[in-house]
A and B are shown apart, each in its own frame.
Chain A
Amino acid sequence: DQQVKQNSPSLSVQEGRISILNCDYTNSMFDYFLWYKKYPAEGPTFLISISSIKDKNEDGRFTVFLNKSAKHLSLHIVPSQPGDSAVYFCAASGGTSYGKLTFGQGTILTVHP
């Protein structure tokens, strides 16, 4: 049972444009959502998070949007840079989960110069 899904395996964007990465979840108990960035052969790096009491959180070029009714979140990167090319994972946790995260399958973002 895939509780967190990233339906786009890859995304290609031109430098300077907006990158939009999407994530859907099914478990209504999830109340905390995160985005991680991962380069090959490295551990994921935490990017940005959002609590279910908010619908938007912004940090520099990164903005995460949460639509609870649709059980959908998205990560916007504006403007996109070649260094943003990586695999992006969304993750979710909720309830008394001891901080355990459920991850999506990841989306490979390629930003072309």
Chain B
Amino acid sequence: SQTIHQWPATLVQPVGSPLSLECTVEGTSNPNLYWYRQAAGRGLQLLFYSVGIGQISSEVPQNLSASRPQDRQFILSSKKLLLSDSGFYLCAWSVGRTHGENTIYFGEGSWLTVV
């Protein structure tokens, strides 16, 4: 069966410091990978998605970047964090297809507090 794991689960970072959140998926090949964010009291916002190694699409302009160095690894980064980057970050995967019925499965989430 497929599993998704992201880490760290919780982190507190000072403004201006770098960020790296990692996510790996097991039990599937060539998945679509996603980074979502849930800000306090708000819904889920898609930040990045990837359909293959090195292929990253950004959904909203922001202070963050994503990379996919391996088929089942997805990394969310920032060079200098802002207070507004605080939130709950979720990595997710789906079967690698471009259309049709495609269910997304989420990781456990990472709480980021920028102080």
Contact = CB atoms under 8 A, between A and B. Distances in A.
Interface of A: 32, 34, 36, 41-46, 49, 51, 89, 91, 93, 95-106
A98 B100 CA distance: 9
A43 to B, nearest CB: 4
Nearest to A5: B43
Contacts of B44: 44, 89, 91, 103
Contacts of A45: 106
A43 B107 CA distance: 6
Contacts of A91: 44, 104
Most buried by A among B92, B104, B111: B104
B88 A41 contact: yes
Given A36-B106, A98-B49, 17 more contacts: A32-B101, A32-B102, A34-B103, A41-B88, A41-B109, A43-B109, A44-B44, A44-B90, A49-B101, A49-B103, A51-B101, A91-B44, A95-B99, A96-B99, A98-B32, A102-B46, A103-B45
Interface string B69-108: 0000000000000000000101010110111111111111
Interface residues of B, number: 30
6 contacts: A42-B109, A46-B105, A99-B102, A99-B104, A100-B59, A101-B104
A34 B92 CA distance: 15
Contacts of A96: 98-99
B68 to A, nearest CB: 14
